[in-house]
Amino acid sequence: MGNKVATFTEEQLEDYQDCTFFTRKEILRIHKRFRDMGDPGTVPRVMSAQDAANLRLPLSCVTRLPELRENPFMERIAEVFTKCRDPGWSLDEGICFEEFLEMMSVFSEHASRDLKVFYAFKIYDFDEDGVLGLGDLERTCRQLVRGALSAEEVATICRKVLEESDIDGDGSLSYLEFEHVITRAPDFLATFHIRI
């Protein structure tokens, strides 16, 4: 008989399975990716529920994920999935395992299109006012083109997006208008994905 170390309790694994689209084996694989992101010895092999919710890796560690390293929205993605939103919180505090697991679940191939659209909207809603206004669209476009277009070109593109997609004419995209646009993007599901 081998001395197999249990990373999580049965209750933790059941809770994680209930809250994600993952099997137990996949949850353990994601824990290994989380451990590998940190410096050696930072993340324990056995994680209590308290460790999983409170032990944080700096966001600089998240850039070790090849799928996020080149993503222009990496910082915004981390911001959306981290829950520590008290007044003194900053992105420098990092991401805990449970937040990382939730992020990986949303980006998994098993997550529904509706869930992915919901989180894409949150990621692009930089000012978090519940709509994608011209400022949100311009910031999204600037991050996508990474300086390849002038400010005037970005503004023109974003005005055109609003002209074509702003059904109610209020100068911004509601969630439903965004959903209508994104469902017509054939590669959305393929690009909103991280393999485990």
Residues whose CB falls within 8 Å of the CB of residue 160, separated by 6 or more in sequence, listed in order: none
pTM of the entire predicted model: 0.87
pLDDT at 85: 53
Name the burial class of residue 125, with classes exposed (0-12), middle (13-18) and buried (19+) by CB atoms within 10 angstroms of its CB.
Answer: buried
Q: In 3D, which of 52, 18, 17, 20 has the Cα closest to residue 34?
A: 52
CB atoms under 10 Å from CB of 103, counted, come to 22
CB atoms under 10 Å from CB of 3, counted, come to 4
Chain position carrying tokens 């991280």: 194
What three-state secondary structure class fits 96? strand
Chain position carrying tokens 């911001």: 79
CA distance 76 to 53: 20
For 19-75, the pLDDT digits (tens) are: 999 999 999 999 999 999 988 889 999 999 999 998 999 888 887 888 888 889 988
Q: In 3D, which of 48, 39, 40 has the Cα closest to residue 15?
A: 48
Mean pLDDT score, 153-168: 94
Say if CB 83 and CB 17 are below 8 A apart: no
Instruction: Give the chain's domains with CATH numbers.
Output: 10-106 (1.10.238.10), 113-191 (1.10.238.10)
Say if CB 174 and CB 125 are below 8 A apart: no
Say if CB 43 and CB 52 are below 8 A apart: no
What three-state secondary structure class fits 173? strand
pLDDT at 133: 95
Reading the block at residue 141, the tokens are: 């476009």
Q: Is the pLDDT of residue 89 over 60?
A: no
